Structure 1
Amino acid sequence: MTVTPLAAHASDRPAPAFRGRIGRDARSGHYAVPGRYRLHLSTACPDGLRIAVTHALLGLDTVCPATFLPAVPDCPEGGHSVLRPLYEASAHRYAGPAVGPVLSDGWSGRIVSTHAPDIMRDLARRFGGDRLSLYPCGAESEIEAVERMCGEGVEEAAQRAGSAGGEPVVCDIALGTLLETLGALDRWLDGRTYMIRDEITAADVELWVALVQLDTVHRNHLDAAAVQRIADHPALWAYARRLTAHPAFGGHLDLDGIERRHHARCQGLEAAGAAVQILDWAAHAGDGKGAGPQVDRP
């Protein structure tokens, strides 16, 4: 399975303000110490959801505690007021939005990273120990390919396909890219339980979050015929149902928060596809019922 090259497209994801890493030992500055670091994230945000699922799969509640932020930021520029002190302590006269996700260092009171892929890898490699291997040896290139496919071929293509006021030909090309990507994923997953290995890896976290976004956010701006074609990938959506039943996935699925965050940010018009739900996510979320975690205010 290959990643289809896509035309350049400006993502609405802000560039990470901080990209520190957690190293192996004290020489790296930031090194793995249980209780030293804290996550600040909203599971209504796709990056926050990816990190929350990773954190739960690795069982890091006490090793690296998490503070869950409200679904809708409370600052006009799209940031969270509770994160402002961390940002200001980490960068002199910081003027940008104080957005999540954030990995903070309790020893210094500063931010280590706001870059979700780095945070996920550092949680798995520095704190995962002998727990589930989310980044198994030799699988990095496969995981990176899935990340690109999910980001460009699913999320960005779906966003362009449903773009308000977009040129019809551009929207049609984007929809074609989306359907081509979903078709490749569907064929790949036929007869498989997980994406690249016989157990859950980071590739599964990436794909599951992309499918959640596709059905709960991007579907709202597509016509009903397009959504029906998206839904016509049985192996792919059966895979999404299986993962949703896992507590680490479904237990963090804040459907109400995703909807409120989307309506707070989105300026586009709702299309007919909004009425064609692909999955009943809450029904498959086990005991979590799609309620998501409670907001933990520091």
Structure 2
Amino acid sequence: MSVVVPSSLLPASAVPVFRGRIGRDANSGHYAVPHRYRLHVDPADPRCLGIALTHSLLGLDDTLPLTVLSGTPDTPDGGYAALRPLYEASAHLYTGPAAAPVLSDGWTGRIVSTHVPDILRDLALRFRGEGPDLLPEAHRDAVDAIADLCERSVNRAAQRAGELGLDGEAAHHDPLTVLFAALGSLERRLARGPYVLGDAPTAADVHVWVTLVQLDTVHRWHLDAAAMDRVAGHPALWAYAQRLAARPEFARHLDIDALLHRHRAHCRGREAAGAAIRLVDWSAAAPR
């Protein structure tokens, strides 16, 4: 059963978060059945990139179909017309944007979940298929810690540093310190093995790789050249990013143009000198 905050209790522009989960068996309501569910993702949204990458790594094309929407929302409120019937069937009198990502249930015509961490976890645990074990029990705490590091100490820190970067060195010292500490931690891990948590890919690699894509394609536009030179000074990290970019599972749904278009449409920050520094040839990861 999905849990949702009623749209009547949300601001008009807000999107309700559905928190249905995929259970182990029929007693759970939503349970793993081939072809029952469908994923809907927006190629311009980094959160959706992580979902699409997980789907590819697990080899779920024949089990759980994936719909890749246009990189540009097609309704005035920033949503997708194709998703509106799902939202309207799932939230009474819903009037907000019909946004991705969505995990939908074909049996009921309703949304199971829009909550990215839950979707990622349920894909790995309930729809593994022939793919790797992305959430091995021994590493689940470590995967959660890496996900938190990527979001708080890389994505948010880089964004904060970019916002403050033109206001003086003292103002952006703290977020850059957090950013470089996080990159150093990941660099040490990748100096010891081919993947973040050892010799096999896990969900931690999904989080790290998508974060590096954002850092090199979005955040660099607002970091100065000195900061980007320091970002570049992590050879194991960027060699890892380039190596995985050449793998079909990683390349398949990466759309750099869509990511940049989304960034430019929403960003009001000023460009800095770091925009000229590109660390990875993402053309190796052109969709195939």
User: After TM superposition, is the score higher than 0.5?
Assistant: yes
Partners of 1:277 and 1:15 in 2: how far apart?
34
Provide the residue aligned with 2:162 in structure 1: 162
8 A contact 2:60–2:129 mirrored in 1: no
What's the offset of the Cα at 1:172? Answer: 2.2
Provide the residue aligned with 2:98 in structure 1: 98
Partners of 1:16 and 1:238 in 2: how far apart?
39
Provide the residue aligned with 1:44 in structure 2: 44
What's the offset of the Cα at 1:45? Answer: 0.9
Q: How does 1:68-87 map to 2 (within 5 A)?
A: 68-87=68-87
Provide the residue aligned with 1:25 in structure 2: 25
What's the offset of the Cα at 1:43? Answer: 2.4
Which consecutive residues of structure 1, in runs of 5 or more, have no partner in the other structure?
1-13, 294-298
What's the offset of the Cα at 1:251? Answer: 2.0
8 A contact 2:103–2:119 mirrored in 1: yes
**Corresponding letter in the other structure for 1:218:** H
Partners of 2:178 and 2:216 in 1: how far apart?
17
What's the offset of the Cα at 1:164? Answer: 6.1
**Corresponding letter in the other structure for 1:117:** P
What's the offset of the Cα at 1:191? Answer: 3.1
Q: 1:45-100 deviations in whole A, cap 9, x for unaligned?
A: 11110010100011101200011011122233322222111111100012332111
**Corresponding letter in the other structure for 1:23:** G
Q: 1:140-170 deviations in whole A, cap 9, x for unaligned?
A: 1000000000000100000101016885444
What's the offset of the Cα at 1:246? Answer: 1.3
Partners of 1:126 and 1:280 in 2: how far apart?
34
Partners of 1:56 and 1:222 in 2: how far apart?
32
Partners of 2:175 and 2:27 in 1: how far apart?
47
Partners of 2:91 and 2:78 in 1: how far apart?
18
What's the offset of the Cα at 1:130? Answer: 5.2
SS of the equivalent of 1:38 reads strand
User: How many residues get paired?
Assistant: 274
**Corresponding letter in the other structure for 2:219:** H
SS of the equivalent of 2:111 reads strand
Q: 1:250-271 deviations in whole A, cap 9, x for unaligned?
A: 2221111111111112121221
Question: In 2 relative to 1, CA 234–16 (structure 1 residues): closer, same or farther, beyond 3 Å?
Answer: farther
Provide the residue aligned with 2:271 in structure 1: 270
Q: 1:112-142 deviations in whole A, cap 9, x for unaligned?
A: 0001111111112111145310001221100
Partners of 1:15 and 1:133 in 2: how far apart?
32
Partners of 1:193 and 1:203 in 2: how far apart?
12
SS of the equivalent of 1:76 reads coil
Q: How does 1:1-298 map to 2 (within 5 A)?
A: 17-129=17-129, 131-163=131-163, 168=168, 169-283=170-284, 285=285, 290=286, 292=287
**Corresponding letter in the other structure for 2:28:** S
Partners of 2:273 and 2:82 in 1: how far apart?
38
Q: Which has the higher contact order (CA 8 A, sep 6+)?
A: 1
Cα RMSD (Å): 1.7
Partners of 1:240 and 1:217 in 2: how far apart?
15
Partners of 1:182 and 1:37 in 2: how far apart?
37
8 A contact 1:164–1:268 mirrored in 2: no
Which consecutive residues of structure 2, in runs of 5 or more, have no partner in the other structure?
1-13
User: Under a length normalisation based on structure 2, what TM-score does the superposition of the two structures give?
Assistant: 0.90
What's the offset of the Cα at 1:34? Answer: 0.3
**Corresponding letter in the other structure for 1:231:** A
**Corresponding letter in the other structure for 1:112:** V
Partners of 2:152 and 2:211 in 1: how far apart?
10
- Identity across aligned pairs (percent)? 57
**Corresponding letter in the other structure for 1:183:** G
What's the offset of the Cα at 1:281? Answer: 1.2
